[in-house]
Structure 1
Amino acid sequence: MKNIVLIGMPGCGKTTFGKALAERLSRPFVDADLYLEEKEQRTIKSFFAESEKAFRDAEERTICDLAGKEGLIIATGGGVVKREINVERLHKTGLIIFIDRKAEDIAGDVEVEKRPLLKEGPEKVFALYRERITLYRKAADRILENRGREEEVLSRLLDMVDGTGEEIRR
């Protein structure tokens, strides 16, 4: 059974929709960032204190491990697409869905101080979105616009997973 992999910006809804999807489909949910911290026995914040490269190396190890499993609903970290090897591994065993939420919506309600790459403030959300949007779109098998009520978005996500929703590429 293929994994369902959710990618997108921090604050786009990967964890929220991942948990709901897992519940609806009776599949295990894995937050890749929490999995990384448990496996590495270190916080993401401590990796970033060392360097972003240190974190991305740990993230790559985590993705390698998760891509080797099957039947999971995986919410990745926002920057997972920065390394092509992560995308390649996730594609081998999973369907990648990009949850696209407007940068201004994220900036308006995400607690940026809790997210290491966004600690510089809301303007960082816009910069990251511009930096990553092409990578997200390139990596995605399907794109889900996170607009509207949560239940409506979840319904569209379920349609995408069962193949009746809008599909792009691959």
Structure 2
Amino acid sequence: MVNPTDTGNLVLIGMPGSGKSTVGVLLAKRLGLGFVDTDLLIQEEAGRTLQAIVDQDGYEALRRIEEQVLLKLDVEHKVISTGGSAVYSAPAMEHLKTNGTVVFLDIPLELVIERIGDHSMRGISRRPDQSLAELFSERFSLYSRWADVTVKGEGRNQEQVADAVLADLQAHKNR
């Protein structure tokens, strides 16, 4: 079992629908850590939903608020579920990595579509002319760049993904 004090925070990144929030809560329970969902922090900071931010001010505004929230985040021994667009901010990701292990919950585009359905209602930070497939491709390289560990989610339920994260963290720690 991974000793949480060895890993500081556990930071989950990935596309909407990859299980960051659900798996994050499972990991927090198993490791005896607190859980932080940065999407909720963004909504609290802005006083409105992610979708309202995108609708009223555009996707760039959501990314700016997200970066500010992440840069202000000063927590220890937490599982942190980030928004799908956190990886667009190098300063924010560098901040998260200073005291955390970043885990990319990797699912294929087809599974993203199956899980999130009508993505126009999810507060997803994307250009108005950008398809979900284009967004997926653009983000995949960013997720891969920032990840310390990548865990495949396809064909696994949330419990199995949490098991895989813990196993991969142990292997990463032993390297």
TM-score, normalisation: structure 1: 0.86
The residue that corresponds to 1:32 in the other structure is 38
Query: In structure 2, how many angstroms separate the alpha carbons of the residues matched to 1:7 and 1:40?
Result: 21
Q: How many Å apart are 1:118 and its aligned residue?
A: 7.9
The answer to whether the 8 Å contact 1:37/1:44 transfers is: yes
Query: In structure 2, how many angstroms separate the alpha carbons of the residues matched to 1:166 and 1:148?
Result: 25
Q: How many Å apart are 1:81 and its aligned residue?
A: 0.6
The answer to whether the 8 Å contact 2:126/2:135 transfers is: no
The answer to whether the 8 Å contact 2:63/2:125 transfers is: no
With a CA cutoff of 8 Å and minimum separation of 6, indicate the structure with the bigger relative contact order: 2
Out of 103, 106, 110, the residue aligned to residue 104 of structure 1 is 110
Amino acid at match of 2:166: L
Query: In structure 2, how many angstroms separate the alpha carbons of the residues matched to 1:5 and 1:156?
Result: 15
SS of structure 2 residue aligned to 1:137: helix
Number of positions where the alignment pairs a residue of Structure 1 with one of Structure 2 = 164
Query: In structure 2, how many angstroms separate the alpha carbons of the residues matched to 1:148 and 1:50?
Result: 37
1:128 counterpart = 2:141? no
CA RMSD of aligned residues (A): 2.3
The residue that corresponds to 1:156 in the other structure is 164
The answer to whether the 8 Å contact 1:7/1:99 transfers is: yes
Query: In structure 2, how many angstroms separate the alpha carbons of the residues matched to 1:105 and 1:167?
Result: 31
Amino acid at match of 1:73: V
Query: In structure 2, how many angstroms separate the alpha carbons of the residues matched to 1:113 and 1:54?
Result: 16
Q: How many Å apart are 1:127 and its aligned residue?
A: 1.7
TM-score, normalisation: structure 2: 0.84
Q: How many Å apart are 1:125 and its aligned residue?
A: 2.7
SS of structure 2 residue aligned to 1:117: coil
Amino acid at match of 2:122: R
Q: How many Å apart are 1:84 and its aligned residue?
A: 1.0
Amino acid at match of 2:165: L
The answer to whether the 8 Å contact 1:97/1:140 transfers is: yes
Out of 90, 98, 112, the residue aligned to residue 92 of structure 1 is 98
Going from structure 1 to structure 2, the CA distance change for 1:28 and 1:20 (only over 3 Å counts) comes to same
Query: In structure 1, how many angstroms separate the alpha carbons of the residues matched to 2:82 and 2:131?
Result: 19
The residue that corresponds to 2:13 in the other structure is 7
Query: In structure 1, how many angstroms separate the alpha carbons of the residues matched to 2:115 and 2:52?
Result: 25
Greater displacement, 143-152 / 71-80: 143-152
Amino acid at match of 1:158: L
Query: Residue deviations 1:10-60, cap 9 Å, x none?
Result: 111111110110111111111100111113323222321212221111101
The residue that corresponds to 1:51 in the other structure is 58
Query: In structure 2, how many angstroms separate the alpha carbons of the residues matched to 1:81 and 1:167?
Result: 26
Out of 73, 77, 84, the residue aligned to residue 79 of structure 2 is 73
Query: In structure 2, how many angstroms separate the alpha carbons of the residues matched to 1:119 and 1:69?
Result: 28
